[in-house]
């Protein structure tokens, strides 16, 4: 993968070359192998390259054969060879970048429909004087922009936009969103005026400065289910996932796999080994020195089964303290999950051996892997239960009943959309209003309202648009790119995603077991002991760390009146959270993490901005 950036001015002023280069320098970690600029009067593109395909060619920004198109491209088009073979075009390179130019010159912007892979790219067409931005269907790769009456600017990461922004103030309306999601849902961000291109969208920037955004691909809102038996569903998923893994191995550099020992990464690793027919394979896992959450023994078992060369890293509380600030800078936002730091350490380890890794991201959100999905029906129809009574009862639960508390908090929310959101929300609607002293200024609940079908399908639809796109995929991209490593999630091939949403819910959650169809696929490639063991997940033992080495850090940062959190949130409520957790009476780790991560990010943002002032 790479980094892209660009400026388009509407006032006739030429693009400042040094300003564009400054934007590109903020993206060097995304592309340490090469860099380039293209400027033509009032428009300019920048590119930093991590070479994966056509290593010695395909330099960017690239000009099309007609001379009228220019591109800055981040990503991989996994079917580029098939597309290339069907095009009549005077190719000068052997990579996928030029295929995008050839497609655009032959079919226009609609050619994005023919792509498979993960991508974010910009094309300027000098004939129409329009600039086009595209983001892949699921939002695997990032793309941000800022626009005003004088200019339009875009970049792979927000930090690359900071040099052109008139203000770097925090968007205060995003605080409510963050307390509900641990991230800011598209199209918003934490920085005033900066927006995300939503997943599966195409933006057109016209010469007059107007910006038009439209979806070129969407998950179907209404269910259109295949009439298949459970065994037929297993075969369909097996075939689609195998094809996706095969495509994801397209590269001119070594490709490895993350192997946590869990179901999804173990299945992906087994399929990779199958496709490589005995060729060398590197696998990678992280441990935390905590027996409650350690899956490395299972990762080693799977590595032995598939014959991979396995590597491990242990993540400690000290890793969090030493990396938290700089990774917040890489994330351009608070770290939404404690596992962000662990994912970065894993990426560092992998980068010592390969340039590309495959991961199991997306399986839970497509096939119902989280425990909450078993309660999708209850979530939909539980509105009659008095929320205030549930909140009072939840407040009396001891620390070891934290999971029950999560369910009670979600079900206590005032409407169906909020109840769906509540399962992953660190703070309830009432708590958010109380902490900030005001209600939310805007609603970002559309993904929770737009999906149709049964309760499970609605929940999966919402999570694919929010939790997956704005949390997990952002984390995966930023933490891997911080180590200059490309991450590919085969479960998110759009063909497999479309198949998943066409399957009936009873092959996803079946007899109380989540992800049933994926487990049955895995059973064809892995031993039963790997498939049927209890799910642990990629968890970090922060509950203990916040009572130990991180306790003083949390108190100092969150209770300081001059802190960002101290100036924006009710300090008495924050202090009560810390005391309740420290005493061992309650497990407030998710809420402490959410606030502390916000504080760490804001301090690091301010420090970096002060350095460049």
Which residues are marked as active site?
2
Nearest to 473 by CA among 481, 46, 448, 282: 481
d(CA 6, CA 457): 39
d(Cα 196, Cα 15) in Å, to the nearest integer? 23
Residues 85/86/89/94 CA torsion (nearest 10 deg): -20
583 is known to lie in a ligand binding site: no
136 a known binding residue?
A: no
Instruction: Name which of 71, 188, 59, 73 is nearest 131 in CA terms.
Output: 71
What distance in Å separates the CA atoms of residue 332 and residue 576, rounded to the nearest whole number? 29
The phi and psi torsions of 8 (rounded to 5 degrees) equal -130, 120
Neighbouring-strand partners of residue 70: 63, 124
Angle, in degrees to the nearest 10, between helices 317-331 and 473-481: 100
409: CB partners within 8 A, 6+ apart: 390, 391, 394, 422, 425, 428
Residue 307, annotated as binding a ligand? no
401-429 core/surface letters (b: 16 or more CB in 10 A; e: else): eeeebbbbbbbbbeebbbbbbbbbbbbbb
Distances (CA, A) of 239 to 232, 251, 274, 524, 611: 11, 21, 13, 12, 52
Q: At what angle do helices 339-351 and 473-481 cross, to 10 degrees?
A: 40
Are the C-beta atoms of residues 289 and 549 closer than 8 Å to each other? no
By C-alpha distance, which of 290, 258, 498 is closest to 360?
Answer: 258
Give the residue numbers of the binding site for L-glutamine. Answer: 96
Give the residue numbers of the binding site. Answer: 96, 359-360
Give the residue numbers of the binding site for ATP. Answer: 359-360
């Amino acid at each position: 993968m790479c980094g892209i950036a660009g400026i388009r001015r509407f006032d006739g002023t030429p693009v400042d070359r040094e300003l564009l280069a400054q934007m590109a320098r903020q993206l060097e970690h995304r592309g340490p192998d090469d860099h380039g600029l293209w400027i033509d009067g009032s428009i300019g593109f920048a590119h930093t390259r991590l070479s994966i395909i056509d290593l010695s060619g395909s330099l960017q920004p690239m000009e099309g054969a007609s001379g009228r198109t220019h591109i800055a491209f981040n990503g991989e088009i996994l079917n580029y060879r098939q597309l290339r073979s069907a095009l009549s075009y005077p190719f000068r390179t052997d990579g996928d970048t030029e295929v995008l130019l050839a497609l655009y010159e032959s079919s226009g912007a609609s050619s994005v429909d023919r792509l498979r892979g993960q991508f974010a790219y910009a094309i300027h067409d000098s004939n129409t004087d329009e600039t086009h931005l595209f983001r892949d269907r699921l939002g695997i790769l990032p793309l941000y922009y800022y626009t005003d009456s004088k200019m339009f600017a875009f970049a792979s990461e927000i930090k690359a936009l900071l040099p052109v922004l008139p203000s770097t103030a925090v968007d205060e309306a995003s605080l409510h969103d963050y307390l509900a999601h641990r991230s800011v849902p598209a199209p918003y961000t934490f920085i005033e005026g900066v927006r995300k291109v939503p997943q599966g969208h195409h933006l057109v920037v016209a010469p007059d400065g107007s910006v038009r955004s439209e979806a070129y691909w969407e998950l179907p809102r209404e269910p259109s289910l295949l009439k298949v038996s459970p065994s037929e569903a297993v075969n369909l998923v097996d075939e689609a996932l195998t094809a996706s893994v095969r495509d994801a191995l397209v590269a001119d550099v070594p490709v490895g796999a993350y192997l946590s020992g869990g179901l999804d990464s173990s299945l992906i690793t087994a399929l990779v080994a199958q496709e490589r027919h005995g060729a060398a394979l590197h696998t990678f896992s992280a441990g935390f020195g905590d027996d409650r959450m350690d899956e490395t023994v299972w990762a080693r078992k799977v590595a032995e089964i598939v014959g991979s060369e396995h590597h491990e890293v242990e993540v400690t509380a000290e890793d969090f303290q030493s990396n938290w600030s700089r990774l917040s800078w890489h994330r351009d936002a608070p770290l939404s999950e404690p596992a962000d730091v662990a994912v970065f350490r894993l990426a560092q380890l992998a980068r010592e051996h390969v340039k590309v890794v495959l991961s199991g991201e997306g399986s839970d959100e497509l096939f119902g892997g989280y425990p909450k999905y078993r309660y999708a029906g209850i979530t939909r129809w539980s509105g009659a239960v008095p929320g205030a009574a549930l909140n009072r009862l939840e407040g009396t639960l001891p620390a070891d009943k934290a999971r029950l508390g999560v369910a009670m908090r979600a079900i206590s929310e005032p409407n169906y959309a909020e109840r769906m959101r509540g399962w992953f929300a660190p703070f309830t609607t009432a708590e958010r209003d109380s902490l900030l002293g005001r209600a939310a200024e805007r609603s970002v609940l559309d993904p929770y309202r737009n999906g149709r079908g049964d309760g499970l399908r609605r929940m999966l639809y919402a999570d694919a648009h929010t939790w997956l796109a704005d949390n997990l995929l952002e984390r995966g991209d930023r933490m891997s790119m911080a180590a200059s490593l490309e991450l590919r999630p085969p479960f998110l091939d759009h063909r497999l995603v479309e198949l998943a949403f066409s399957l009936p819910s009873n092959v996803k959650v079946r007899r109380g077991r989540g992800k049933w169809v994926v487990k049955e696929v895995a059973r064809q490639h892995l031993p039963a002991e790997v498939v049927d063991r209890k799910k642990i997940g990629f968890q970090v033992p922060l509950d203990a760390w916040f009572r130990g080495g991180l306790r003083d850090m949390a108190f100092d940062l969150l209770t300081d009146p001059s802190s960002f959190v101290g100036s924006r949130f009710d300090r008495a409520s924050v202090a009560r959270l810390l005391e309740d957790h420290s005493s061992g009476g309650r497990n407030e780790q998710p809420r402490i993490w959410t606030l502390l991560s916000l504080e760490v990010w804001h301090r690091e943002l301010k420090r970096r901005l002060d350095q460049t002032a």
